[in-house]
Structure 1
């Protein structure tokens, strides 16, 4: 795919470099030569031998991602500039270039984040989800890889499997709609995804950010799905102030999970807390216990007495 670098797409977008690549396509950094703006082009690549029904479903999913994100105007949601089909009938989405890593990459490179920072990031995700939910759109794939961090800005991206009002659910045949570690139990159990499902995924995402590991584990996809659908999250070791928020977000009953607005309020309070002062390291040698001190004192007195005896 890198051999396409330098290619001009639909006479306007010059491909510069691959930002990410998967089995179904790639995201390119590109330049819009008409207005001189750098953008991201999301390109679909379909494997040979794909049947017509699956091909149509993949193309429809990509079209829907453009429409879902394109209807939302919010600083916490990646902006869609354009959408088009190339001469092969494959869809492309033109999005803003967010110059920052994903939350997933930040944790993998630097380890778990402090609670206040996780809470701040959570507020940004909540605000984006509140805008999407108010428009009737459920993201359905909130996860660390779909949260971009550009300075203080938190951006939710990839509405590829978003549920849009009035549209049928479209997915490649046999594909799993979502990412197992971050899917709500009701999604795994084949129930309708709702805004509450996004809130579960938010909880799992924040858990990963503060703990440095997913809330659920399994050696196989089947074992992981079973753990999410039936088990409780692994106990937290780093989350303290965040623990009750994570608990509420990942309640098994969707009706008991907080809304995006309510979760944002709780997270703001945590983010606003002053950082705990760092305790100074005591470099003094530890004082011996009382009994030990008496023995040392006796030894010192005895030595002094020996030294004092004239030769």
Structure 2
């Protein structure tokens, strides 16, 4: 008997759609290669939530469901003020949704696009929050695998939140340069991940360094115009010239070491940031 694989075709959704008879979509907050995030009203509990429609083009429905559950379970393993909170995973009309806390403010990527490089004092404060978040992520046995400005939310109250665990993996998993591993942004990918080697917590520290470089210099340290050239630069090239980093420069440079064994650890990064 021939097995028919059901492909997942995401429903085109818009404002006012009611998901699972409970979550009323209001405003599209953002979109990426693996999902669309909406601000919604939880009509059962009378509260605002963020809800992500998981989109993996060309994948079977069961693969999309597994991806949604994996992301939710990854975030659920981390209980930290600087990591986004997940409330639920639901299915509606064949679509899979992750229900999360709503966040105020804007992403670091949006802030950089609108305002340019951030002040050094702000970058140092943001860095401390992100390192603390990564410490919690790694202690939970995870590698985030996609630290970048678009996944850092700068909230109105000063809170800094690491988001989007869609390609997070367990620390002892081996990653190769598959389509899943490539789902992140090449400009913020660690050299070992770009080469298809196994990655660990040090890979997140490299991505943090690239993110901090972008925050203070206004651009990726390795952006080369196209994904392939950018990956080559990540593996082989020195970062772009520092202009604004000041005392943060040696910290960022140490995070961007090509050899993961030469990179600052979480503890070393916290110490350096607190004394810079």
* Counterpart selection for 1:154 from 157, 160, 163: 160
The residue number in structure 2 matching 1:209 is: 215
Task: After TM superposition, list the pairs within 5 Å mapping 1:107-256 onto structure 2.
Answer: 107-150=112-155, 151-164=157-170, 173=179, 176-256=182-262
Q: Which residue of 1 aligns with 2:266?
A: 260
* Change over 3 Å in CA distance of 1:239–1:219 after alignment to 2: same
2:37 aligns with one of 27, 31, 35 = 27
Rounded to whole Å, the distance in 2 between the matches of 1:134 and 1:22 is 27
Secondary structure of 2:212's counterpart equals helix
Could you tell me which runs of 5 or more consecutive residues in structure 1 were left unpaired when the two chains were aligned: 271-311
8 Å CA contact 2:187–2:230 kept in 1: the answer is yes
- Counterpart of 2:22 in structure 1 is 12
* Cα displacement (A) at 1:201: 0.3
Change (3 A) 1:158 1:17: same
Name the CA distance, whole Å, in 2 between partners of 1:116 and 1:37: 34
Q: Distance in 1 between matches of 2:273 and 2:83?
A: 19
Give the number of the structure whose alpha-carbon radius of gyration is greater.
1
Aligned partners of 1:166 and 1:226: how far apart in 2?
26
**8 Å CA contact 1:132, 1:138 repeated in 2:** yes
> What's the secondary structure of 2:30's corresponding residue?
strand
Show CA shifts across 1:67-89 (max 9, x none).
1001211000001011122231x
Structure 1 segments, 4+ long, off by >2 Å, are 1-4, 21-25, 44-47, 55-62, 164-175
Q: CA deviation at 1:164?
A: 2.6
Residue-pair matches, total: 265
Structure 1 residue 264, shift from structure 2 partner? 1.8
Question: Does the C-alpha gap of structure 1 residues 192 and 152 become closer, same or farther in structure 2, counting only changes over 3 Å?
Answer: same
Cα gap change, 1:215 to 1:72, in 2 (>3 Å): same
SS of 2:106 mapped into structure 1: coil
5+ residue gaps, structure 2, are 1-10
Compared CA separation, residues 268 and 70, structure 1 to 2 (3 A): same
The answer to whether residue 102 in structure 2 is matched with residue 97 in structure 1 is yes
Deviates more, 1:171-180 or 1:188-197: 171-180
Task: Give the structure-1-normalised TM-score.
Answer: 0.79
**Paired position in structure 1 for 2:7:** none
Over 3 Å counting, the alpha-carbon distance change for 1:216 and 1:172 in structure 2 is closer
Contact 2:175 2:197 in 1 (8 A): no
- Deviation readout 1:126-150 (Å, 9 max, x if unpaired): 0000001011110000000100011
State how far apart, in whole Å, the 2-side matches of 1:51 and 1:111 are.
37
Does structure 1 conserve the Cα–Cα contact (< 8 Å) formed by 2:167 and 2:181?
no
Distance 1:199 1:23, change over 3 A: closer
